[in-house]
Amino acid sequence: MRYAHTVEQVRAAEGALLARLPEGALMQRAAAGLAATCAGLLAESHGRVYGSRVVLLVGSGDNGGDALFAGARLAARGARVCAVLLAPEQAHRAGLAALRQAGGVLTEDQRDGCAEIARADLVLDGIVGIGGRGGLRPGALPYVRAAAEADAAVVAVDLPSGVDADTGEVSGEAVRAAVTVTFGTHKPGLLVDPGAEHAGVVRLVPIGIGVPPPAAEALQHADVAALLPRPTGESDKYRRGVVGVAAGSARYPGAAVLAVSAALHGGAGAVRYVGAAAAAVVAAHPETLVSEGSAQGLKQAGRVQAWVVGPGLADGEDAVRTLDQALDAALDPDVPLLLDADALRLLARRGPAPRPGLLLTPHAGEAVALLAGAGVEATREQVEAARLRYARQLAELYGCTVLLKGSTTVVAGPDPAGPVRVNPTGTPWLGTAGSGDVLSGLAGSLLAAGLAPLDAGSVAAYLHGLAGRTASLGGAAAGAGGVPAGVGGEGPISASEVAAALPAAWRSVTDRA
Ligand SMILES: NC(=O)C1=CN([C@@H]2O[C@H](COP(=O)(O)OP(=O)(O)OC[C@H]3O[C@@H](n4cnc5c(N)ncnc54)[C@H](O)[C@@H]3O)[C@@H](O)[C@H]2O)[C@@H](O)CC1
Ligand SMILES: Nc1ncnc2c1ncn2[C@@H]1O[C@H](COP(=O)(O)OP(=O)(O)O)[C@@H](O)[C@H]1O
Ligand SMILES: [K+]
């Protein structure tokens, strides 16, 4: 698991350690790790550290201090290091002295600074770290823009300046880094877009701080492998779980086919289908159980261990009746229920209907409708800019688990003290019609197999992201989580291909565990 902590948590943890250590010791640990990463990058790009050109962007706080001490270490190895001081009066005194002593130079002149950046091999962003508030200030913008235009690799110290450490929000412009070297623990803003997209590859330098339970966490291959259901000698299709899918309509039969397809690949022993697209479902997936009398609804469908309700239901009378049945207390409240797509729009019209085992899987547009249904106004853009906050708020308002889809998918449980799961896998190519139907079928299958809603949602998002990458790479199994999206070799995919790639994604996780 990759854990992330808020600024408040980091400050408290650092405070405890600072009191025990000699002055400056913590910063030296941070600077040593930072310099080691920079040296590695310089060796790759320049062949060696000696003679390479390094520019430090130095703000007024300890983040600038880290950059200066790391710069001093690189200068001691022969790099030509220039520190650009954004707030010369407040720059870290000891850090400045160390850099000067190691042969580094300083400038406060904007033109000089930008010219240095233009010919640098490496730029270190030490403008602000966890002490940053609001967006970048105007004085920093020329340097940040020069760094974006230069060939230099940009390394963010602790986090890219301009990214909110707790939420990943970016107001205005922010540094775009190739690598972020973060200290002690991850910060939630490094895991979730738009912050994650600015952070590039994130490397964690342990500095020995002890941390409380995390505010956010991201599953890794081993966590997913441990959560995936595995049949045993005693398993049969009923013990492995039956997932019920109530989806599709005369207008949208394909949504039912896709949800069923993913449910069949999600670990449950059998899939029962209820709805108007039975013919299309059975034609595509003859193994689906379409039980007698299913036209009358969910209650007559026979035993299921989890329901998936909503994809392609449209918003006619049938859809309303289906949601009524799904929410009906007489439907076993011990059976988990996943609501997606049209069911979410219908739920929003009624407002919160808390129920045990409820998992909602909105995209940002559906999240806006759900928020409105609970009396909270927000725009799609606001939700996309602050996913962690809105996922938590929805989970609290609706008293259930909420999986908010998008460029970073996040899953929040109903306990506001619990961590939000942030999904590290995926590709922008997943933004294709029907891909959400695949996700909900898969998550429903994992619910039926016995996973708790938070686990089912986050494991489904993880596999869905891997399957999307695998399909997008033309079938080659995608790498581990955290791979930045949009890397070479990817191409367009259809939702059916994502569903077809699920077994390969599953195997890539269990093979490596
Ligand atoms: N506290 C510790 O024990 C450690 C801290 N470390 C480093 O220290 C950093 C935190 O240092 P600080 O608390 O000094 O805070 P920062 O260095 O993040 O920034 C604080 C300073 O930036 C100014 N500032 C705030 N928002 C700004 C903005 N938008 N634009 C420009 N300036 C802005 C503030 O006025 C303040 O002077 C961490 O991110 C990390 O890099 C590391 O050395 C590890 C140990
Ligand atoms: N830019 C992106 N990067 C990564 N994943 C994305 C991106 N855009 C969309 N997705 C994923 O694609 C899926 C789209 O689901 P959804 O919006 O419900 O589409 P549909 O309703 O057509 O099925 C979600 O799993 C979402 O997380
Ligand atoms: K920074």
pLDDT in tens, 252-301: 999 999 999 999 999 899 999 999 999 999 999 999 999 654 456 888 88
Kindly state the tokens that stand for 382: 């606001």
Q: Write out the H or E segment, with its range, that includes residue 273.
A: strand 270-274
Amino acid letter, residue 63: N
Domain membership of residue 75 (yes or no) is yes
Amino acid letter, residue 376: V
- Distance CA(336)–CA(358), nearest Å, equals 6
What residue ranges line ligand 2, CB within 6 angstroms? 341, 363, 405-407, 409, 426-428, 430-431, 433-437, 439, 464, 485
Tell me the three state secondary structure of residue 230. Answer: coil
Structure confidence by residue, pLDDT tens digits, 27-65: 999 999 999 999 999 999 989 999 999 999 999 999 999
Ligand 2 center to residue 139 CA distance, Å? 37
Tell me the three state secondary structure of residue 164. Answer: coil
The pairing of beta strand 410-412 with beta strand 401-404:
antiparallel
**246 and 207 share one domain:** no
198, 191 contact by CB (below 8 A): no
Annotated binding residues: 62-66, 125, 129-135, 158, 161, 255, 312, 363, 405-409, 436-437
Nearest CA to ligand 1 atom 27: 132
Q: Nearest ligand, CA of residue 64?
A: 1
The DSSP bridge partners found for residue 421 are 217, 411
Q: Which ligand 1 atom sits nearest the alpha carbon of residue 137?
A: 30
What is the predicted ipTM? 0.93
Q: Is 134 in the pocket of ligand 1 (CB under 6 A)?
A: yes
Domain membership of residue 425 (yes or no) is yes
Structure confidence by residue, pLDDT tens digits, 177-196: 999 999 999 999 999 999 99
- Provide φ and ψ at 337, rounded to 5°: -130, 125
Ligand 2 center to residue 406 CA distance, Å? 5
Query: What confidence tier does 98 reach under pLDDT thresholds 50, 70, 90?
Result: very high
**196 and 295 share one domain:** no
Q: Looking at residue 231, what is its pLDDT?
A: 82
Q: Which ligand 2 atom sits nearest the alpha carbon of residue 365?
A: 17
Q: Nearest ligand, CA of residue 57?
A: 3
- Dihedral sign, Cα of residue 449, residue 450, residue 453, residue 456: negative
**348 and 495 share one domain:** yes
Q: Looking at residue 292, what is its pLDDT?
A: 52
**200 and 273 share one domain:** no
Tell me the three state secondary structure of residue 122. Answer: strand
- Dihedral sign, Cα of residue 356, residue 246, residue 261, residue 391: negative
Structure confidence by residue, pLDDT tens digits, 331-384: 888 899 999 999 999 999 999 988 899 999 999 999 999 999 999 999 999 999
248, 311 contact by CB (below 8 A): yes
Query: Beta-carbon neighbour count of residue 28 at 10 Å?
Result: 16
**200 and 242 share one domain:** no
Q: Looking at residue 207, what is its pLDDT?
A: 95
Q: Is 12 in the pocket of ligand 1 (CB under 6 A)?
A: no
**106 and 241 share one domain:** no
Q: Looking at residue 291, what is its pLDDT?
A: 65
Mean pLDDT of 1-24: 93
pTM of the model: 0.93
Interhelix angle 435-448/453-472, rounded to 10 degrees, is 140
**138 and 27 share one domain:** yes
For the chain, what percent of residues have pLDDT higher than 70?
96
CATH of the domain at 102: 3.40.50.10260
Q: Looking at residue 273, what is its pLDDT?
A: 96
Kindly state the tokens that stand for 300: 């007559």
How many residues can be counted in the chain?
Answer: 513
Nearest CA to ligand 2 atom 10: 431
Ligand 3 center to residue 157 CA distance, Å? 4
Domain range holding 444? 232-512
Give, for ligand 2, the residue of 430, 463, 472, 483 to mutate: max count of ligand atoms closer than 8 Å to Cβ: 430
**181 and 281 share one domain:** no
Domain membership of residue 225 (yes or no) is no
Q: Is 125 in the pocket of ligand 1 (CB under 6 A)?
A: no
Nearest CA to ligand 1 atom 9: 63
End-to-end CA distance of the chain: 13
CATH of the domain at 359: 3.40.1190.20
Amino acid letter, residue 504: A
Which protein residues have their CB within 5 A of the ion that is ligand 3? 125, 156-157, 161
Give, for ligand 2, the residue of 191, 423, 435, 437 to mutate: max count of ligand atoms closer than 8 Å to Cβ: 435
Residue at a domain's end among 187, 218, 249: 218
**271 and 410 share one domain:** yes
Mean pLDDT of 108-127: 98
Q: Nearest ligand, CA of residue 441?
A: 2
What mean pLDDT is reported for the chain? 94
> Quick check: 408 pLDDT over 80?
yes
Q: Which ligand 2 atom sits nearest the alpha carbon of residue 464?
A: 25
Supply the DSSP string of 318-374, one letter for each residue.
HHHHHHHHHH-TTS-TTS-EEE-THHHHHHHHH-----TTEEE---HHHHHHHHHHT
- Distance CA(170)–CA(167), nearest Å, equals 9
Count of structural domains, the chain: 2
Domain membership of residue 223 (yes or no) is no
Q: Nearest ligand, CA of residue 361?
A: 2
Structure confidence by residue, pLDDT tens digits, 466-497: 999 999 998 765 554 444 444 568 899 999 99
Ligand 2 center to residue 492 CA distance, Å? 13
- Distance CA(78)–CA(70), nearest Å, equals 13
Amino acid letter, residue 367: A
Q: Is 161 in the pocket of ligand 1 (CB under 6 A)?
A: no
Residue partners of 232: CB distance under 8 A and separation at least 6? none
Annotated binding residues for AMP: 405-409, 436
**185 and 270 share one domain:** no
Q: Which of 186, 191, 147, 154 is nearest to 169 (CA)?
A: 191
**156 and 249 share one domain:** no
**319 and 396 share one domain:** yes
